[in-house]
Amino acid sequence: MGSMNRTTLRQVAGPVSFALIVLVCWFVAGMVADRMVQQELDAALRAQRQMSTSIVDNMAEVIASDLAMSRAIPATMAAMDVIQHALVQAQNYAANGEAAEPALRTALLKDAQMTTVSQFLHDAQGFSGLDQIWIVNANGICVASSSTVMSPQGFRQSFVGMDMRPRGYLTNALLGAFSEAYGVGRTSGEPGIFIAAPVYADGLLVGAVVAKVGIARLRHWVAHAGTFVTDDNGVIIMAHNSALEGRALPNSHVTQMSPAERRMIYHRDTFPDMRIRVDTQVRAQAPWVPAAVAAQLFGMNGQPVPALYQNRSGLNSGLSAHLVDPLTAWPELLRNHKRDHLLVFLTLAGTVALAWVITVSYVRERRHHRATRDLAEQLQSANTLLSAEARHDALTGALSRRYFLDLLRHEIDRAHTGNEPLCMAIADLDHFKQINDRFGHAAGDRALEHFVDTCRAELRSSDAIGRLGGEEFGLLLPATNLAGGREVVERLRLRLKAEPSPKLPATVGLSVSIGITELSHDDLPERIMSRADTALYAAKTGGRDRTEALPPDDTAPPTRTVVNAW
């Protein structure tokens, strides 16, 4: 009987001991696998976070630069005598209710001076890169407009005569402050950035210049997957994935606004929640992820993979740049954890498989180091590419707008320090849109390249050329006074006409309008650029294919040019 009991105990103890060893090995293998995959996760996060930071920082710089250029145009126009004089003459126009708007519009459209100003605004819009420009008197009435728009009912309606006071972006401007806001046009239904600059005449507020930059012109802000832009109310106004547009960030200000306020700005009163939040499913899906690391991973509507989230605000505007960057290594990390757990378990479970497990682990480590090295090389290449793209325009090879502005600041400081002259010019190819329309965008690209090549052949090695946008270029002429600078750019203008590009059809006649000015002792970059832009406008309105120079002590176009414009 005793022998039978001992036999029974051995029969029972054997399987129990085996099961216990298997459980211990499985538990230890799990701990080792957790540690291994955590190291892989840390490496992947570091590499992807560096890349995401570079992307969102570059995006924020582009937004800030574009908005600065857009603000300069209405601010410059607000300082022009023709705008100030027109608003002074239009002070008697006032609103008497919506019923009176047709009569008010008829009176303004018959006003010869206002019609002339509207034509001036239309011409300015043509080369400014803005979608619409209009001026509003101190009573809130639009007295002149650059264009008409198609209403939802299908008929064309002019802004002239409208009472613009309910527009939120105009309120601050009519109180004397510069204003900038996102909104959806009430008549056109097209979204855009509205910029309003107050206009003073003899120290009195007489109205405002309002400009609109359509969102369609700014789509390059969200060229990278996962990027989007929000306004100061937390509404997504632009996204790489257009399905996200119109959503609101969690707890954003738009949720606290009244339905009437939301409809006034956005033409809608419902905003689905974007739901960018810490991904609570990470720990449920992968318990091996440390809590501190899981708090850095975010989830989003319809996004199965946790992501890194980056945002940049304070872009000298109410806009913010955002990037939701899915962790590309996540599926592989999950697979690696399961595989590591099994491999370590097999290693601990039997010495027979030890050599095989060591070999697999060695190969896997080599692959991991190679992948890390490749990822580092890719990151270095991407950073190099981003740096080159930030410095040079991809099409023409001219300096990018951001780098040109940085160089302008540097040259101004050096000129002030060395008490040397400095000239700045802005050149704009004439009738460039007609070249694109008649011969195609490829011909337009060749025209831009030919202009830059001509500049390089004519200018000194110490001079600089940068592409400010579209067909507009900036020229820097260090150690050059205004008389010498005008001779240089005039030779450039004549050479462009005399030497056609062999890459363009023979019927394409290239010409350029140039405005140039000289640095004064107290100039800032914005001021010298504004003066050069004013000189360019004088060249454009004076007939194009010409050079106009504006002395450093002058802030208005030459008298002759203004007379020709009107």
Lowest mean pLDDT segment, chosen from 42-56, 68-82, 362-376: 362-376
pLDDT digits (tens, 9 = 90+) for 459-495: 999 999 999 999 999 999 999 999 999 999 999 999 9
Handedness of CA 263, 266, 267, 271 (dihedral sign): negative
d(CA 349, CA 314): 58
Q: What is the 3-state secondary structure (H, E, C) of 225-261?
A: CCEEEECCCCEEEEECCHHHCCCECCCCHHHHCCHHH
The set of long-range contacts for 189-195, using a CB threshold of 8 Å and a minimum separation of 24, is: 189/152, 189/267, 190/131, 190/214, 190/215, 190/216, 191/215, 191/237, 192/131, 193/67, 193/70, 193/218, 194/167, 194/169, 195/70, 195/71, 195/74, 195/169
pLDDT digits (tens, 9 = 90+) for 66-107: 888 888 889 898 899 988 998 998 888 887 766 677 888 888
Across the strands, what pairs with 184?
A: 191
**Residues 394/395/399/405 CA torsion (nearest 10 deg):** -90
The pLDDT score that the predictor gives to residue 399 is: 94
Lowest mean pLDDT segment, chosen from 55-69, 180-194, 418-432, 472-486: 180-194
**Closest to 47 (Cα-Cα) out of 299, 329, 306:** 329
d(CA 182, CA 68): 15
Q: Domain ranges in the chain?
A: 79-214, 217-326, 401-565
For residues 326 and 520, which has the higher predicted lDDT (pLDDT)? 520
The pLDDT score that the predictor gives to residue 471 is: 93
Average pLDDT in the 421-441 region? 93
Q: Are 136 and 77 in contact (CB under 8 A)?
A: no
State the residue for tokens 């965008």.
441
List all residues 6 or more positions away from 442 whose beta carbon is below 8 Å from its beta carbon: none
Residue 559 has pLDDT above 60, yes or no: no
Rounded to two decimals, the pTM is 0.54
- Sorting pLDDT into bands at 50, 70 and 90, what band is 371? low
Q: Are 492 and 459 in contact (CB under 8 A)?
A: yes
**Residue 100 CB-half CA count within 13 A:** 9
Lowest mean pLDDT segment, chosen from 20-29, 307-316, 375-384, 460-469: 375-384
Average per-residue pLDDT for the chain: 83
For residues 12 and 429, which has the higher predicted lDDT (pLDDT)? 429
Residue 561 has pLDDT above 50, yes or no: no
d(CA 341, CA 358): 14
pLDDT digits (tens, 9 = 90+) for 122-168: 888 877 778 889 899 988 888 898 875 444 554 455 788 888 887 87
For residues 332 and 13, which has the higher predicted lDDT (pLDDT)? 332
The pLDDT score that the predictor gives to residue 6 is: 65
Q: Which helix (H) or strand (E) holds 137?
A: strand 132-137
Handedness of CA 60, 61, 64, 65 (dihedral sign): negative
- Sorting pLDDT into bands at 50, 70 and 90, what band is 10? low
Average pLDDT in the 377-406 region? 76
The pLDDT score that the predictor gives to residue 527 is: 94
DSSP letter string, 252-306: -GGGGS-HHHHHHHHS-S---B---EE-THHHHH-TTS-HHHHTT-EE-TT--S-
Measure Cα distances from 140 to 45, 102, 136 in Å. Answer: 53, 16, 6
> Which of the 8 DSSP states describes residue 47?
H
What percentage of the chain has pLDDT greater than the value 70?
86
**Closest to 346 (Cα-Cα) out of 335, 359, 332, 330:** 359
Handedness of CA 165, 166, 170, 175 (dihedral sign): positive
CATH number of the domain at 217-326, out of 3.40.50, 3.10.590, 1.10.10, 3.30.450? 3.30.450
CATH class of the domain defined by 401-565: alpha beta
Average pLDDT in the 505-518 region? 92
Q: Are 346 and 357 in contact (CB under 8 A)?
A: yes
d(CA 329, CA 561): 62
CATH class of the domain defined by 79-214: alpha beta
Residue 241 has pLDDT above 70, yes or no: yes
**Residues 523/529/535/539 CA torsion (nearest 10 deg):** 160
pLDDT digits (tens, 9 = 90+) for 525-538: 999 999 999 999 99
- Sorting pLDDT into bands at 50, 70 and 90, what band is 208? very high
- Confirm whether 79-214 and 401-565 share one CATH topology: no
What percentage of the chain has pLDDT greater than the value 90?
28
For residues 378 and 396, which has the higher predicted lDDT (pLDDT)? 396
